[in-house]
Structure 1
């Protein structure tokens, strides 16, 4: 970790009050911790703009496993993406609905393409890709 630098920030009182409320709501001990987290979040978003960088994503899918051939189609897509899929977790939510969670690692381009193929498969009720970082370049 690098040298810590202190700097001042000028804010409108109303904006600062809202920021302090947010800090309390999210259990930040100090404003500095919250600001560091916001900066890291912006850096991760920037990292995802370069589709060639190695990144990580968490994909969640909700689907009815009784839908004809859906489980088979999802499995086939996953087998075609063995280089990106690190692991998966399958949970039975109720008699019909399942939740599948996949951890993907690779270039942003490949992760996004794999996620979109799974999300857009007919019968998937909801899919969401959460983008994150390997942490290599985040301080």
Structure 2
């Protein structure tokens, strides 16, 4: 672990202390590491070929022509990348949609950006979680050992 010294003004320090209290962080260092990880993972700037999980959220105006059918069709078109989808009705016209996908940064970012540009889609947010994949040969519970892949969350791309 590397040591970094930073200077922050009193107001920002007070906000950091409030964040620590709200999240249960045990030290300013822990709180700053958490904030840096969140800030870096929220930016879709990983290499286009890097593997990731993505959480795509937005609001959908269901009354916009064909949007209520185009959004689910877009997920079906990417059935190999879509892990889960949730649509929460807010009122008679609007819903919050959340989709969890896996794939390359380039693929999921392209999908999310195209979705956010649709008329009737607002408040779009893309959150990327970098992962690495490796193969392991071992036993789960009982039976012979076998090889399969494991995903591991990485701290950055």
Are 1:71 and 2:88 counterparts? no
Deviation at residue 78 of structure 1 after TM alignment: 1.5
Q: Which residue of the other structure, out of 101, 107, 123, is the alignment partner of 1:110?
A: 107
Task: Could you tell me which runs of 5 or more consecutive residues in structure 2 were left unpaired when the two chains were aligned.
Answer: 132-151
Deviates more, 1:60-69 or 1:17-26: 17-26
RMSD: 3.0
Q: Distance in 2 between matches of 1:35 and 1:136?
A: 19
Task: Could you tell me which runs of 5 or more consecutive residues in structure 1 were left unpaired when the two chains were aligned.
Answer: none
Report which structure shows greater RCO (CA 8 Å, sep ≥6): 1
Are 1:92 and 2:89 counterparts? yes
Q: 1:32 to 1:73 in 2, by over 3 A?
A: same
Q: Which has the higher strand share?
A: 2
After the TM superposition, list the runs of 4 or more consecutive aligned residues in structure 1 that deviate by more than 6 angstroms.
Answer: none
TM-score by length of 1: 0.75
Count of aligned residue pairs for this structure pair: 135
Deviation at residue 22 of structure 1 after TM alignment: 4.3
TM-score by length of 2: 0.68
